[in-house]
Amino acid sequence: MEERNLLIVSDLHLCEGLDPQSGKFSRLEDFLFDDAFARFLHYHEEVKNQPRFGGRPWLLILNGDLLDFLQVVSLPEEGRMLHAVKGIGRHKELRINERDYGLGTTAEESEWKLKRIARGHQSFFAALGWFVAHGNHIAVLKGNHDIEFHWPSVWERFVVEVERAYTRERLMLGQGPSVT
């Protein structure tokens, strides 16, 4: 196994983040440091060639509670999206508990919540993609607030959202493939 430098971070509790339309943070958001986290990763990429780090890649261990699924209380839009997640078309068909506190923890509900988290933390997810693209590695350990990582489809959705955010950022910065 390749030798790696270790970075260990835990309990970030990302939830709905910044709403791209309104420019406001969710009232339940705990993590307001997406840009600082990106700088943290950039710093460690810059210093990895110093003698004490030996040029070895980093292994970033996200040691539980990276995400906070319980604090995602928004609901999918009525119609097609709600039907895809819950098999119903209207919010009034949800249980009152779901209308008040958000969706449950099925694989489909958790995937939707993860998409919502990624939408609100685009620069955080893009920073993870950038870090991996520079030869580093990430290990995500589930905690009690992101136990939804139990579902294989949620792991897969996490990877997709990191890739999407990184690609989106590269295209916006003009560093990605041309779109013509």
Is the CB of residue 173 less than 8 Å from the CB of residue 126? no
Tens-digit pLDDT string for the chain (180 aa): 689 999 999 999 999 999 888 999 999 999 999 999 999 999 999 999 999 999 999 999 999 999 999 999 999 999 999 999 999 999 999 999 999 999 999 999 999 999 999 999 999 999 999 999 999 999 999 999 999 999 999 999 999 999 999 998 877 766 654 444
Classified as helix, coil or strand, 177 is coil
Tokens standing for residue 75: 């609901």
Whole-model pTM: value is: 0.91
Q: Quote helix, strand, coil % in the chain, to nearest 5.
A: 45, 10, 40
What is the rounded CA–CA span in Å between residue 37 and residue 172? 20
